Amino acid sequence: MINTGKNAKTKEKDGNALGKDDFLKILITQLQNQDPTQPLQDKEFIAQMAQFTSVEQLTNMASEMKLMRQSLGFVSGMIGKSITWTATDSSGASIEKSGIVDSITFKDGNQYANVKGEEISLDKLKKIENPGETK
């Protein structure tokens, strides 16, 4: 089979590592080449499917960890910055608040900037700037 330019630029991976696609190909090949008079026993098949599910979940976790590391690198740069956000006061009216970011917190997959003990969800931020700069 000739490798075209389209296929040549696919993801490079460690030659010793098997991914979930490789595992699925092996499983399909095994099913195609099994002896019809002695099919896989249920226990073996269920164990292989459980392994496949584990491989897939580990792959998903690795992807999520990579995203979190990238995200953490971005949001950690907010520490020491002045931020402005929209908050709701006790009467339910929207007010604009600002302060210097003390730290970043992760809870339930969401990121929060901490300003004097108050956690602000990053989706509520309106402005990020260096302290002392006003425009």
pLDDT above 70 (res 41): no
Residues composing the chain: 135
DSSP-assigned letter for residue 10: S
In a domain, 57, yes or no: yes
In a domain, 82, yes or no: yes
In a domain, 33, yes or no: no
**Alpha-carbon span 29 to 15, nearest angstrom:** 20
Residue 82 structural domain = 48-129
Q: Residue 4: its pLDDT value, please?
A: 44
Q: Mean pLDDT across the chain, nearest whole number?
A: 75
In a domain, 80, yes or no: yes
Q: How confident is the model at residue 74 (pLDDT cuts 50, 70, 90)?
A: confident
The encoded tokens of residue 74 equal 């971005």
Closest CA to 17 of 47, 64, 67, 58: 58
In a domain, 8, yes or no: no
Q: In this structure, what CATH number is given to the domain that contains residue 95?
A: 2.30.30
Q: Are 50 and 63 in contact (CB under 8 A)?
A: no
In a domain, 122, yes or no: yes
Q: Residue 42: its pLDDT value, please?
A: 60
Alpha helices in 12-117 (DSSP H): 20-32, 42-76
In a domain, 65, yes or no: yes
Q: Does the pTM of the predicted model rise above 0.85? A: no
Taking each helix axis from N to C end, the angle separating 20-32 and 42-76, rounded to the nearest 10 degrees, works out to 170
Tally of domains within the chain: 1
**Alpha-carbon span 57 to 87, nearest angstrom:** 37
Q: Residue 6: its pLDDT value, please?
A: 42
The encoded tokens of residue 50 equal 């459980």
Q: Residue 9: its pLDDT value, please?
A: 39
In a domain, 59, yes or no: yes
What DSSP element (H or E) covers 6? Answer: helix 5-8
